[in-house]
Amino acid sequence: MSSPVVASIPESAAAGGLAEFDRTTSRWGRLTMLAGLLVSLAGPLYLVFFADLDVTAGQLWTAFGAVAAVFMMIWLVEPITYFPILGPAAMYQAFMIGNISSKLLPSALVAQNRIDAKPGTPRGDFAAVAAICGAAALHLLSLAVFVGLLGTWLISIIPVDVIDVVRLYILPSVLGAVVVQAIISVKQPRITAVAVAISLLVQFVLVPLVPATAFLATGIAVMATIALSWLVRDRTPQPAVEH
Amino acid sequence: MLTHLVSTAVGGGSSTDVLALANMPLLWICAAGVFAVIAVQSVIYMKAARKAAPAAGITQEELKVSFRSGAIAAIGPSLAVALVAVALLAVFGTPAVLVRIGLIGSAAYETGAASIAIGTTGAELGGPGYTQNAFAIAFFAMSLGGAMWMLATLILTPLMKRGGNKLAKTSPVAMAIVPTAALLGAFVSLSIAEVPKSLVHLVALLTAAAVMGLCAVIGRSPKRAWLREWSLGFAIVVALAVAYVVHTAGMPAA
């Protein structure tokens, strides 16, 4: 079971460099995410406690309880679903920046494809981190300009049906492109076939039979694809050992 | 003085002038704060990546290309988010839209959370009972919900990292399979979930896939490598244009 991945990492210096990156990103990633969490709560907390709106604690907990009942499993499932793709460093970026499957993962994938880096390798992880930084920079800029600065003017000139179409169909438009990109750039026909078979089963058999699993569908598909890909993996000696 | 008396007599927060409350300066400052935190985090991460680049077997040039590719690839999705956010300005006001719809969450989650939260007050989002009081409750519930996501990430990431490290030591082959399988499982499953929604969803999905496939074939030559960065944007624009035509032609929508 000698691994080509481990063998190709040259010296202890490289391991040290990666360990330092890991330390920096997990310390500062956590700190910045905690800061983001607190700042994002400060506004609503101020309104609730100081703006004299007669909001009662009972109203707040009822409202939050209703939201939690619907979304609690997603709060737990999403981080677990995306961790194997993002890696630990990018996790602290992704769950603060938001729009992970429709914006950040596609960006990471485009970058990995552009420099021919495989997901899950150090090269792939670094390309993903840089790509997410790039996506974040662009997104902050576009939000500040188009929503913060021009938002109220734009709403007066954009036809309602254009906004409706974008709102309704943006997800399939992004996903159709990204799924093709993912299949092309990882070049793993066996795992692709497993993913397609499992997803068809989950979306067209499991979800219609047990509608309550709909929000778990992606998580189930990911876990099942990992498990089945492992079971049907190519057991012939790794060709990558040749170099 | 009189207006003050009247407003307290009616009961604080019963005003339906939600935007006066939702656009108050303090909320703008908090929104700017979230922007600043993300910007600072990106700078720290890029610096750390540049420093450790040799150890990861990636060049400074490739890091720069990755940053640029990520930014270009995000143009389409980012503008789409901005457009949806603009459409929701009248409901939540600019600061809440910037933080909740634009960052942290997503339009689908946040409007869902907000309407569930408002529902518990007996009102409806943007309806006649949508008072300042109801807005504060909705904003609180969606923000605390978003915080739970970050909290789960903060707690689960170190745990999963430990599991991943252990797996990497005991079974390197698994480490080669897991990220690839997770990536394909996630995107194939998310894409297939769009199929039963409507015919227009299917058309958008297939159009985007076809454009992306075409770009990949044409962009194979190193001379046209730039196409690989822009292909996602092209695919989104063409797919949305086709969806617009099919949608307005009266095909069954969602």
pLDDT (tens digit, 9 = 90+) per residue, B181-193? 888 888 898 899 8
A61 touches chain B (CB under 8 A): no
Sort out which chain A residues have CB atoms less than 8 A from B192's CB and list them. Answer: 196, 199-200, 203-204
pLDDT at B98 over 80: yes
pLDDT value of position B195? 92
| Closest-CA distance of chain B to residue A98, Å | 4
Q: Using the beta-carbon criterion (under 8 Å), do B183 and A182 form an inter-chain contact? A: yes
Distances A113 to A84, A237, B46 between C-alpha atoms, Å: 18, 26, 19
Q: Please, which residues 15-54 of chain B have a Cβ atom closer than 8 Å to chain A?
A: 21, 26-27, 30-31, 33-35, 37-42, 44-46, 48-49, 51-54
Q: Do the Cβ atoms of B56 and A17 come closer than 8 Å?
A: yes
Helical (H) or strand (E) element with B177: helix B172-194
- Per-window interface: A 70-129 vs B, CB < 8 A: 70-72, 74-76, 78-85, 87-89, 91-93, 95-99, 101-115, 117-120, 122-129
Tell me, what amino acid is at A140?
L
Cβ pairs A/B, distance under 8 A: 631
- Tokens coding B147: 């915080």
Tens digit of each residue's pLDDT (9 = 90 or more) over A128-167: 999 999 999 999 999 999 988 898 888 888 888 887 888 7
| Spatial distance between the Cα atoms of B227 and B229, rounded to a whole number of angstroms | 5
Phi-psi region at A218: left, alpha or beta (left = phi > 0; alpha = psi -120 to 50): alpha
Neighbours of B184 (CB within 10 A): 30
Work out the mean pLDDT of chain B and round it to a whole number: 83
- Of A98-112, A157-171, B114-128, B173-187, least confident by mean pLDDT is B114-128
Is the pLDDT confidence value at B101 over 60? yes
- Would the CB atoms of A142 and B78 count as touching at under 8 Å? yes
Q: When comparing pLDDT for B64 and A241, which is higher? A: B64
Q: What are phi and psi of A93, to 5 degrees?
A: -80, -55
Long-range contacts of B58-64 (CB under 8 A, 24+ apart): B58/A115, B58/A117, B58/A122, B58/A123, B58/A126, B58/A127, B62/A115, B62/A117, B62/A123, B62/A127, B63/A126, B63/A127, B63/A130, B64/A130
B82, B109, B173 member nearest A1 (Cβ): B173
Count the neighbouring beta carbons within 10 Å of the beta carbon of residue A234. Answer: 12
Looking at residue A238, its pLDDT comes to: 54
Determine which of A35-49, A61-75, B187-201 has the lowest per-residue pLDDT on average.
A61-75
Q: Which residue has the higher pLDDT, A224 or A242?
A: A224
Contact of A95 with A37, CB cutoff 8 Å: no
Contact criterion met (CB < 8 Å) for B157 and A83: yes
Does B138 contact chain A (CB < 8 Å)?
Answer: yes
At residue A103 the predicted structure's pLDDT band, cuts being 50, 70 and 90, is confident
d(CA B134, CA A48): 11
Question: For residues B10 and A126, which has the higher predicted lDDT (pLDDT)?
Answer: A126
Give A240→chain B minimum CA distance, Å. Answer: 12
Weakest-pLDDT range from A76-80, B46-50, B134-138, B156-160 = A76-80
pLDDT at B76: 84
Structure tokens of B174?
């698994």
Whether B209 sits inside 8 A of A180 (CB atoms) is yes
ipTM over cut 0.95: no
Read off the tokens for B80: 């789409």
* Extents of the domains making up chain B: 16-170, 172-254
Six-digit token pair at B231? Answer: 């292909």
Spatial separation of the C-alpha atoms in residues B246 and B254, rounded to whole Å? 13
Distance from CA of A93 to the nearest CA of B (A): 8
Highest mean pLDDT of the ranges A9-18, A208-217, B107-116, B170-179: A208-217
Give CA–CA dist B34/B40, Å, rounded. Answer: 10
Q: How far is Cα B44 from Cα B48, in angstroms, rounded to an integer? A: 6
- How does the average pLDDT of chain A come out, rounded? 84
How near does any CA of chain B get to the CA of A113, in Å? 8
Choose the weakest-confidence range: A93-97, A192-196, B9-13, B181-185: B9-13
Residues of chain B neighbouring A66 (CB-CB closer than 8 A): 116-117, 119-120, 141
Nearest-by-CA chain B residue for A238: B173
CB-closest option in B64, B85, B183 to A85:
B183
Q: Give yes or no for a contact between A35 and B59, defined as CB atoms under 8 angstroms apart.
A: no
User: Buried b vs exposed e over B157-180: b needs ≥16 C-beta within 10 Å?
Assistant: beebbeebeeebeeebbbbbbbbb
| Choice among A89-103, B10-24, B41-55 with the minimum mean pLDDT | B10-24
- Tell whether B217 lies on the interface with A, counting CB pairs under 8 A: no
What is the average pLDDT across B138-142? 88
